[in-house]
């Protein structure tokens, strides 16, 4: 069957019209003519008859098998433009016209946080990323997205898999590069016992890990696994959320600081460990609100040990079930919000009902962002500034930051 690709889906598959409806096609670009066998509405291995001018040779030898990247066959300019269009199209679906000022793309070999999977096999162990749309694991030596420091710890993951994986189970290893080196947070392994604890502690020492946790238990904390947020040094809980690249974090923090401007009192909602709150405290008093108390404890310790910061207060609060109310919001000159993929529908509703004049919205989901943006515009806000930040290079993942003003 010969088809012409009309567009890319939100998952970066090609979308074409087939004889029986929509067909999804892997690893193609808009405008390309392709042929292949359709199975269950999908062409998994298309032959490119007419390639796009934006098609390039994927730089990674694992690309066809590994599911970590889905857009290495597109030029950098195409990928950046497509990610901007995902945001603009989501807004357009809500009747919102906007302009993306710029797209900030993190370079190759820049991911400082990633999750790899480990599994025991008859011949030993297998550690890598999942294959595209499959439970198969693909080893990725020389991966072009990960920091070299993370790749260097794959032997430690292989050893930990041999020690602690069941024959049918799979361990998820969250690797994070800290100021003190690499830390590993493992989930899904065998239950801890004294022999496993001793073996894992020895592994952490031999592989020079800053910290190793297994399930909910910290096995080794050889050095503080610190992250730098502005003037503060913070030691997050094991496996805690961190922006995926240093370059992406710098782009987001820079945008947020500029958007907040001279605001003297700022609320940081879904604050995590202080990615935005602590840099903002250089010029403003900040109230950080986060659902995880352990993250707030790390933020507070970092603030207390830093020099030259204004007052930072914090509050453990589930903003989905108990959002800040208008009278609480009205105490602030600006609010920063960085919700998870579900967005912040309840909190946005309270912001819309408040008298707040400035909101800075960071989002990892253009669809829920557009929903929330519509609510804000209907309440009298205007969308004044919008950027796209691509920390997940060659993936379908899109992040953005926007400034809303109400006069």
pLDDT at residue 168, as a whole number: 85
Whether residue 173 sits in one domain with residue 270: no
Question: Domain end: 171, 192, 227, which one?
Answer: 227
Whether residue 210 sits in one domain with residue 192: yes
* 70 lies in some domain: no
Whether residue 126 sits in one domain with residue 189: yes
Residue 290 assigned as binding residue: yes
* 329 lies in some domain: yes
Whether residue 303 sits in one domain with residue 262: yes
Residue 243 assigned as binding residue: yes
Distance, CA of 381 to CA of 346 (rounded, Å): 17
Whether residue 298 sits in one domain with residue 345: yes
pLDDT at residue 135, as a whole number: 86
Q: What CATH number is attached to the domain comprising 27?
A: 2.40.50.140
Give me the residues of the chain with pLDDT under 70, please. none
* 345 lies in some domain: yes
In the chain, the N- to C-terminal Cα span, in Å, equals 56
Q: What CATH number is attached to the domain comprising 369?
A: 3.40.50.150
Whether residue 179 sits in one domain with residue 274: no
How would you classify the pairing of strands 399-405 and 7-8? Answer: unpaired
* 96 lies in some domain: yes
Residue 241 assigned as binding residue: no
Whether residue 207 sits in one domain with residue 93: no
Count other C-beta atoms under 10 Å from residue 327's C-beta: 10
* 74 lies in some domain: no
Bridge partners, 8 (sequence order): 14
Task: State the residue range of the domain holding 7.
Answer: 1-55
* 68 lies in some domain: no
In this structure, the chain runs to a length of 407
Question: Domain end: 201, 227, 253, which one?
Answer: 227
pLDDT at residue 19, as a whole number: 86
Q: Which of 66, 143, 273, 364 is catalytic?
A: 364
Whether residue 341 sits in one domain with residue 250: yes
Residue 391 assigned as binding residue: no
For 100, the token pair is 């993306």
Distance, CA of 379 to CA of 87 (rounded, Å): 21
**pTM, to two decimals:** 0.95
pLDDT at residue 226, as a whole number: 97
Whether residue 374 sits in one domain with residue 276: yes
Whether residue 186 sits in one domain with residue 119: yes
Question: Domain end: 227, 260, 293, which one?
Answer: 227
Whether residue 259 sits in one domain with residue 360: yes
pLDDT at residue 373, as a whole number: 98
Instruction: Quote the number of domains for the chain.
Output: 3
SS3 of the chain: helix, strand, coil, percent, to 5: 25, 30, 45
Q: What CATH number is attached to the domain comprising 155?
A: 2.40.50.1070
* 365 lies in some domain: yes
Per-residue HEC secondary structure of 144-168 comes to CCECHHHHCCHHHHHHHHHHHCCCC
pLDDT at residue 123, as a whole number: 87
pLDDT at residue 406, as a whole number: 95
Closest CA to 260 of 295, 239, 224, 286: 286
Distance, CA of 264 to CA of 283 (rounded, Å): 7
Per the annotation, the verdict on 66 as an active-site residue is no
Whether residue 167 sits in one domain with residue 128: yes
* 102 lies in some domain: yes
């Amino acid at each position: 069957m010969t088809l012409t690709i009309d567009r890319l889906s939100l998952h970066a598959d090609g979308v074409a019209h087939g004889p029986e409806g929509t067909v999804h096609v892997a690893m193609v670009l808009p405008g390309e003519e392709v042929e292949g066998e359709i199975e269950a509405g999908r062409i998994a291995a298309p032959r490119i008859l007419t390639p796009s001018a934006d098609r390039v040779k994927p730089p990674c030898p694992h690309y066809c098998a590994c599911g970590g990247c889905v857009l290495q066959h597109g030029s950098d300019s195409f990928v950046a433009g497509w990610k901007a269009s995902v945001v603009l199209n989501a807004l357009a679906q809500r009747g919102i016209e906007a302009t993306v000022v710029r797209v900030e793309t993190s370079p190759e070999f820049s991911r400082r946080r990633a999750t790899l999977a480990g599994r025991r096999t008859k011949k030993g162990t297998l550690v890598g990323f999942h294959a595209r749309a499959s439970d198969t694991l693909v080893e990725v030596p020389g991966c072009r997205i990960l920091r070299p420091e993370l790749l260097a710890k794959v032997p430690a993951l292989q050893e930990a898999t041999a020690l602690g994986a069941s024959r049918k189970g799979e361990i998820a290893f969250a690797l994070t590069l800290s100021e003190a080196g690499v830390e590993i947070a493992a989930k899904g392994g065998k239950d801890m016992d004294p022999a496993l604890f001793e073996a894992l502690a020895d592994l952490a020492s031999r592989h020079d890990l800053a910290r190793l946790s297994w399930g909910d238990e910290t096995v080794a904390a050889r050095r503080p696994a610190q992250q730098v947020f502005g003037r503060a040094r913070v030691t997050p809980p094991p496996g805690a959320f961190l922006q995926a690249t240093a370059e992406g974090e710098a782009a987001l923090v820079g945008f947020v600081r500029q958007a907040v401007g001279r605001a003297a009192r700022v609320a940081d909602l879904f604050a995590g460990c202080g990615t935005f709150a602590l840099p903002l405290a250089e010029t403003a008093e900040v109230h950080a609100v986060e659902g995880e108390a352990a993250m707030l404890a790390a933020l507070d310790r970092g603030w207390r040990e830093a020099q030259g910061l204004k007052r930072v207060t914090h509050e453990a609060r589930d903003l989905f079930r108990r959002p800040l109310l208008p009278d609480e919001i009205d105490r602030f000159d600006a609010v920063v919000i960085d919700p998870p993929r579900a967005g912040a529908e309840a909190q946005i509703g309270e912001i819309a009902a408040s008298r707040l004049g400035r909101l800075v919205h960071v989002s990892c989901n253009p669809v829920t962002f557009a929903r929330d943006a519509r609510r804000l515009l209907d309440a009298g806000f205007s969308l004044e500034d919008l950027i796209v930040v691509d920390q997940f290079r060659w993936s379908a993942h899109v992040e953005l930051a926007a400034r809303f003003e109400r006069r």
